Amino acid sequence: MLTVHHLGVSQSERIVWLCEELGLDYELKRYDRDPQTRLAPAAYKALHPMGTAPVITDGTVVMSESGAIVEYILARYGKGRLAVGPEQPNFADYVFWLHFANGSMMPHELIRLICSMLGQTEEAIAAGERATQLLPISADALDGTLIATNLAAVYAQLGRHEDALALLETLVSQIGGPAPGTLRVEPQWDYLRDHPRFQRLLAS
């Protein structure tokens, strides 16, 4: 059986989304990040030599890299759904956007993550904002929303709470945006926990 090893707050969310859209019979195994370091647990890193999310297993197949996993699932289980064939006029656009997220946009996300971990506030914010410009929600409702949510988390962590809240207030109404239940339990929002605007989001 196809198994999606889902790491919270990672690109594995797009694989779960794909499986749900295709209506596949699959197993979901969830792994939580360390609440202090935000790193994946050792059990997740042991799944694949790359030690990164997402990871799927399918019989003897063990695969990482979200773009590769998307192509694998569509080819193996999609039956022509949610994919564009080479004979179609928009095939080039389809291939471009499928790989853009990890090719051109993701380095900015990684810079943002590393800078925030090192306390380099302005650099982290600049990289996060650049990532949202490269892949806005209008271009990709799922990954664009995830990137914007990550930027809101950076704002929160680095003390720009009003910016974080303004972004979250927009994101909660987006498909794939953070749900009140997610905001309530994920530790990355602890910086906003007592703010009245955040409390209103939890009640929405």
- State pLDDT tens for residues 27-70: 999 999 888 877 889 999 999 887 789 999 999 999 999 999 99
| Distance in Å from the first CA to the final CA of the chain | 37
Structure tokens at 28: 């979901």
- Rounded CA separation 100/197 (Å): 34
What pLDDT digit, counting tens, does each position of 76-89 carry? 999 999 999 999 99
CATH level 3 topology of 2-77: Glutaredoxin (3.40.30)
Report the C-alpha gap between 197 and 195 in whole angstroms: 6
- In this prediction, residue 3 carries a pLDDT of 98
The model's pTM is 0.64
Cα separation, 158 vs 202, whole angstroms:
21
pLDDT at 2 over 90: yes
- The architecture of the domain spanning 100-203 is Alpha Horseshoe (1.25)
Q: Which region holds residue 48: left if phi is over 0, alpha if psi is between -120 and 50, else beta?
A: beta
Domains 2-77 and 100-203 share a fold: no
CA 62 to chain centre: 20
Residue-range domain boundaries for the chain: 2-77, 100-203
